[in-house]
Amino acid sequence: MIEIDRLKFYYKQERPILKDVTFGLERGECLCLLGPNGTGKTTLLKCLLNYFRPKSGRILLDGKEICRMPARERAAHLACVSQSSQLTFPYSVEEVVLMGRVAHMRLGSSVSAKDRKTAAQVMEHLGIQDMAAKNFQTLSGGERQMVLIARALAQQAEYLILDEPTAALDYSNQIKILNMIGNLAREGYGILMTTHFPDHAFLACGKAVLMRDGTVTAFGSPEEVVTSENLTRLYHVPVCVTEAVLKNTGGGGLQKVCVPILKRGEKKNES
């Protein structure tokens, strides 16, 4: 599992970014990290990926401190999908997915038949094998996100870090990505995803962490921590967590949803 234990980070000591952050993620779980902008979520992910060294505390990956692991060993266990692709050249989809194999290649070596087979299997598993020869830059936002997740899976890491995986996607593609994330967790991957949509915790995740001002304010199942009171305190706006009745779903049921409460101006008296 990934264990974050009393993590602290700051650029200036008098202005800490992360303050005693503690929570854990096991394989087979999807954890949703929620919090307003500027609360330290991105900094926490950079510490997880060893871009930043914590000032104190520890991050353990299967019992080993991440900061003490060689880069190749760390990459064999931990893969990241960022918000933007950072790809400017006209790579094909297959070439992008093959980039995930770099962690398994020796310096100066070329792509092997095993690498190509792994990439093909991942693309088939995600249902994007028909896009293999397409130019990555010509794809829609949802298609690009699927390819980037395929690249992470080709890395064959057990843990996936997804930084706002549904950002800038339309509603249909958001649902496709969330379904994929849920399926990957059920297959045994440990997934940590950040999002600005609290509903995603109910739709795809088994755990949730609420963060504000660099501090974990709640950690547990979405049912326990994603509540009206907690979200209202977290975002400083009124939020109602309620239940929607699902119809035409083969048996019905209930689904928790988060509804922001907008302030409406009072009607003027026209009399």
| Residue 31: Cβ-neighbour burial (10 angstroms; 0-12, 13-18, 19+) | buried
Q: Tell me the torsion sign for CA atoms 68, 73, 75, 77.
A: negative
Q: Can you state the percent helix, strand and coil of the chain, rounding each to 5?
A: 35, 30, 35
Amino acid at 73: E
- The DSSP symbol for 51 reads S
**194-230 pLDDT, tens per residue?**
999 999 999 999 999 999 999 999 999 999 999 999 9
pLDDT score at 83:
73
Q: How far apart are CA 252 and CA 43, in angstroms?
A: 41
In the chain, where does DSSP find H-type helix? 41-48, 71-77, 93-98, 113-126, 141-154, 171-186, 199-204, 222-225, 228-235
pLDDT score at 221:
96
CA-to-CA dists, residue 93 to 112, 120, 142, 260, 263, angstroms = 17, 11, 13, 39, 46
Beta bridge partners of residue 219, listed in sequence order: 209
Domains defined for the chain, CATH in brackets? 2-231 (3.40.50.300)
pLDDT band at 251 (very low <50, low <70, confident <90, very high): low
Do residues 232 and 225 lie in contact, with contact meaning Cβ atoms separated by under 8 Å? no
Tokens of 256: 């928790």
**4-37 pLDDT, tens per residue?**
999 999 988 888 999 999 999 999 999 999 999 9
What is this structure's pTM?
0.88
